[in-house]
Amino acid sequence: MKFVRPQSCLRQDQQIKRRGLTLLEMLLAAAILAMSLAVLARQNGVGVRAALRSQLETESAVLCQSQLNRLLSEKTPTDSIAERPLTEAGSKSHRWMWSAQVEPSSVPELRLVTVTVFAEGMHREISTVKLSRLVPAFPEASPQRIAGGRSR
């Protein structure tokens, strides 16, 4: 003989349909959201640091090139120049410094001029740029004479 339960005898949790989320599901969703936000915040910080580094490298390269051109346009440097502030630099956030070093080269009629530009402070290792150029050792020497051609 089979015993059949009437509909009214079903357990109460089987009769009520679930609505909403349980506390455990809410805590799990909040934990996943918090971890995702932490990862995104870290990536944002990495992006900001990379942008700052790129800006410093670019700015120092442009300043170094312009300072080397300015130095060579005035005259042929004969002495090295110690660190000096770069007053023409447009950046308000960093104090830019520069120096120049003049050395003899392997060619007797040429000197090696190296200009170094850097931002003073904690970003010095990121922003340091050195540019070198060979220039005539004697300002009165003409380019044809240095190249080995005839003087006019």
Which tens digits make up the pLDDT trace of 11-40? 555 556 667 778 899 999 999 999 999 999
Q: What span, in angstroms and rounded, lies between the C-alpha atoms of 139 and 143?
A: 10
Query: Domain total for the chain?
Result: 1
Which tens digits make up the pLDDT trace of 90-122? 556 678 889 999 999 888 889 999 999 988 877
Sign for the CA dihedral angle at 50, 124, 74, 105 comes to negative
Token pair 């089979």 is at which residue?
2
Domain range for 132 is 22-147
Structural contact between residues 55 and 123, judged by C-beta atoms closer than 8 angstroms: no
- The answer to whether position 3 is within a domain reads no
- The answer to whether position 62 is within a domain reads yes
The model's pTM: 0.61
- The answer to whether position 8 is within a domain reads no
Q: What span, in angstroms and rounded, lies between the C-alpha atoms of 146 and 61?
A: 29
- The answer to whether position 83 is within a domain reads yes
Structure tokens at 51: 């942008």
CATH code at position 79: 3.30.1300.30
- The answer to whether position 13 is within a domain reads no
- The answer to whether position 104 is within a domain reads yes
- The answer to whether position 63 is within a domain reads yes
- The answer to whether position 7 is within a domain reads no
